[in-house]
Amino acid sequence: MKNRWFLSEGIRPSPSRALCSLLVFSGVVALSPVGKASAPEWLRTASHIALPHYPEETNAVLILNEQVTSVTDKGEIKTEHRRAYKILRPEGREHGMVAVYFDSETRLTYLKGWSIASDGTQHEVKEMDAVEASVAGAGVLYQDTRFKLLKIPGAEPGSVIGYEYEQKRRPNVLQDTWEFQEEIPTKHASFVLRLPKEWEYNVVWLNHPPQDPQSSGENQWTWELEDLPAIEPEPAMPHWRALAGRLAVTYLAGQGSGEKSNASWRDVGLWYSHLTASRRQPSPDIQQKVAQLTSSLPTPWGKVRALASFVQKDIRYVGIEIGIGGYQPHEAQEVFANRYGDCKDKVTLLSTMLGAIGVDSYYVLINTQRGVVAPNFPSILNFNHVILAIRVPANAPVENLYAVRKDPALRPLLFFDPTDPLTPLGYLPPSLQGNRGLVVRDDGGDLVELPLLPPPTNRLSRTAKVSLNFVGGVVAEVQEVREGAPAEYLRAQLLIGPTADRTKVLERFLGMFLGGFTLQESSVENLESSDEPLVLHYRFLAQNYGKPAGNLLLLRPRVLGEKGSGLLEKKERKYPVEFPTTMLDSDVFDISLPSGYQVDELPAPTEAHCSAADYNSKSEVIGGTLRYTRNYTLKDVLVPKERLEELKNFYRQIAADESASAVLKRTEVK
């Protein structure tokens, strides 16, 4: 599903420009000769605006962000954009590259750019100087979205870069967003809205206090904002689009115009239900395949699992999105015949196959970035992904179905993403847990919160037998058992490249904790069986793990693993902390002591708690073995700003425990 909301601004990088597609630019930018001409008055004026003092690390400032949107009585929308940047540091040169989209529904009618250097030199580039680029991405076969790439010369520190362009479109829904806050500061932003007579509008302010517009003509309004701060990157912050201020606008057509706007989530669900109404018709071939996969299985739930596995693993992810096809799935028989489709296509086929065995299921529209969907802005523009909600059959064993939400009207619903090849039925990918999705029914839609899976479903259990010699060298044999998100994360790393590179993944991990080591052997179980725990075995040698000091030997009982050090930076945070998932992480390290040494001092036991997590560790001597155990439980994924100091104190205690040393004392002279 094409997400026009992500395509609304010129050069802003976007994490997702189409539903289920991670897109990158393809093509080579080849510039025509640059023309020297006078910059327009608006850009010359902007270049003289006095700017406040910004932090030294600020790469650029958006001096001016103007958007003028005009709607006709036929529902056609013309949007004019003007932007001006002051480049402060070399890293700000990226703002000299303009990328403006167009497709079968959106025409780019004008594009021009200029630069004003610090010495007054001016340059101009026009649309004829731009290069047209297609859109490419993993699994995207074809998409009608294209870009005009325009490189503005003179994008150097001290210069001002400006451009303007115009788009005309007739969208599928009468809604828009004005995104006025970015990763860099904005000095001045304005939005002008022009509507036909008898048309009205509703606005929703997101992540910003409401501002009243000024009337600037008949059925014309202007909003203006000044000195907007940057959305600065921080470790473990929510997605920046969940934090940035924006204005969501719904256009309310006059009577008799035939145009209709989304007024509620029910309306959005009805719109998508009507769009997909004829897509789930089971062809004879589909029915035959369903029978082949399920006829020998005695229970309804066994049949559900077989069909889900088929669509997840045997239907390739390939996107073909043209026009309304960005929102509307292909017909189920077409997806089945081709054995490929994008997220909404795979959901359509699975829903069709489930219907053939009498199991109801529902489209679920969602955004792959938690927190981006705004509950108070009902819109198809919120979403960039589709998954499925399966109505759990009666008497189905639910003990391993963690992604279930009890729906008062529809019985328990199991949320499943058939696009993700590494997340088994019963689980959800981390980005979808605790996220908001729109469950689409024939009579409308409901925006619901998807389950946040409990910590034991995302488990990492690490045990190690470590032999320590009298000069501090160790040989360690380690076993890791991973379930849920830790298993999915490591599987993705191990499967993405050649088999020969898998040891490099493990070596990078060990290198974080060991000054010098040799990975002697490694093996993995259930790598391609996502329904089973991922089990990793490895053996390594580290010659200088312990540190001799006279007749003492110092070593860190916590051999491997680290928690939350990136959250301990001294700079004051501006935003909440967001974790990918809950977690249950446990370690047991048995370190056999060398002959002639005894434990002289052990780190004190540690027990730390905060609202989102718990931690405990203990070092003890059992016979000739030093045993270190610890457990880390992350219970929630979002820590609000007012609880950040509590979280930092929690991680300070963990950091102290992780760096603590045990002291061994020589009892015999070697």
Residue 87 pLDDT exceeds 50: yes
Among 8-12, 263-267, 530-534, the range scoring the smallest mean pLDDT is 8-12
Do 470 and 536 reside in the same domain of the chain?
yes
What value does the mean pLDDT of the chain take?
Answer: 88
pLDDT of residue 290: 97
Task: Provide CB contacts within 8 A for 497, sequence distance 6+.
Answer: none
Cβ neighbours of 397 (radius 10 Å): 10
Show the tokens assigned to 50: 């006095």
Do 146 and 279 reside in the same domain of the chain?
no
pLDDT of residue 136: 55
Separation of alpha carbons 132 and 541, rounded Å: 54
Cβ-count burial 582-594 (b if 16+ within 10 Å, e if not): bbbbbbebbbbbb
Q: Which of 143, 54, 151, 142 is nearest to 105 (CA)?
A: 143
Of all residues in the chain, the percent with pLDDT exceeding 90 is 74
pLDDT of residue 573: 87
Separation of alpha carbons 645 and 568, rounded Å: 10
Separation of alpha carbons 434 and 610, rounded Å: 20
Domain of 272: which CATH number? 3.10.620.30
Q: Which residues pair with 333 in a beta bridge?
A: none
Q: Which residues pair with 223 in a beta bridge?
A: 191
Residue 480 pLDDT exceeds 60: yes
Domain of 628: which CATH number? 2.60.120.1130
DSSP one-letter string for 493-527: HHHSS-GGGHHHHHHHHHHTT-SS-EEEEEEEEST
Distances (CA, A) of 235 to 240, 245, 571, 590, 614: 12, 20, 11, 33, 20
Do 408 and 479 reside in the same domain of the chain?
no
Do 421 and 298 reside in the same domain of the chain?
yes
pLDDT of residue 17: 30
Separation of alpha carbons 111 and 383, rounded Å: 28
Given 432, 453, 474, the domain boundary residue is 453
Do 416 and 540 reside in the same domain of the chain?
no
Separation of alpha carbons 6 and 355, rounded Å: 34
pLDDT of residue 318: 85
Q: How many domains does the chain have?
A: 3
Encode pLDDT of 606-631 as tens digits.
999 999 999 999 999 999 999 999 99
By the 8 A CB rule, do 135 and 314 touch?
no
Residue 12 pLDDT exceeds 70: no
Distances (CA, A) of 336 to 298, 311, 326, 331: 25, 9, 19, 9
DSSP state of 658: H
Separation of alpha carbons 250 and 247, rounded Å: 10
Question: What number is the average pLDDT over the span 13-37?
Answer: 40
pLDDT of residue 261: 57
Residue 456 pLDDT exceeds 90: yes
By the 8 A CB rule, do 187 and 395 touch?
no
Separation of alpha carbons 588 and 88, rounded Å: 51
Beta strands in 569-610 (DSSP E): 577-578, 583-592, 597-601, 606-609
Of residues 3 and 74, the one with the higher pLDDT is 74
Among 128-142, 269-283, 539-553, 593-607, the range scoring the smallest mean pLDDT is 128-142
Residue 285 lies in a domain: yes
> What band does 445 get if pLDDT is binned at 50, 70 and 90?
very high
Separation of alpha carbons 371 and 378, rounded Å: 14
Q: Which of 364, 362, 355 is nearest to 300 (CA)?
A: 355
pLDDT of residue 496: 85
Do 468 and 447 reside in the same domain of the chain?
no
> What band does 657 get if pLDDT is binned at 50, 70 and 90?
very high
DSSP one-letter string for 78-131: EEEEEEEEEE-SGGGGGGGEEEEEE-SSEEEEEEEEEEE-TTS-EEEEEGGG-E
Do 441 and 320 reside in the same domain of the chain?
yes
C-alpha 511: how far from chain center: 27
pLDDT of residue 101: 83
Q: Which of 322, 320, 435, 318 is nearest to 382 (CA)?
A: 435
Do 556 and 595 reside in the same domain of the chain?
yes
Residue 260 lies in a domain: no
Backbone angles phi, psi at 560, to 5 degrees: -135, 160
Residue 172 pLDDT exceeds 90: no
Residue 257 lies in a domain: no
Question: What number is the average pLDDT over the span 635-643?
Answer: 95
Region for 284 from its dihedrals, namely left if φ exceeds 0, alpha if ψ lies in -120 to 50, beta otherwise: alpha
Encode pLDDT of 462-471 as tens digits.
999 999 999 9
If residue 309 lies in a helix (H) or strand (E), which one and from where to where? helix 300-314
Do 410 and 487 reside in the same domain of the chain?
no
pLDDT of residue 669: 57
pLDDT of residue 609: 96
Question: What number is the average pLDDT over the span 48-77?
Answer: 93
Q: Which of 84, 93, 88 is nearest to 46 (CA)?
A: 84
pLDDT of residue 29: 41
Question: What number is the average pLDDT over the span 71-82?
Answer: 92
Do 514 and 466 reside in the same domain of the chain?
yes
pLDDT of residue 245: 95
Do 413 and 441 reside in the same domain of the chain?
yes
Do 81 and 174 reside in the same domain of the chain?
yes
pLDDT of residue 262: 67
Given 453, 468, 492, the domain boundary residue is 453
Domain that holds residue 568: 456-666
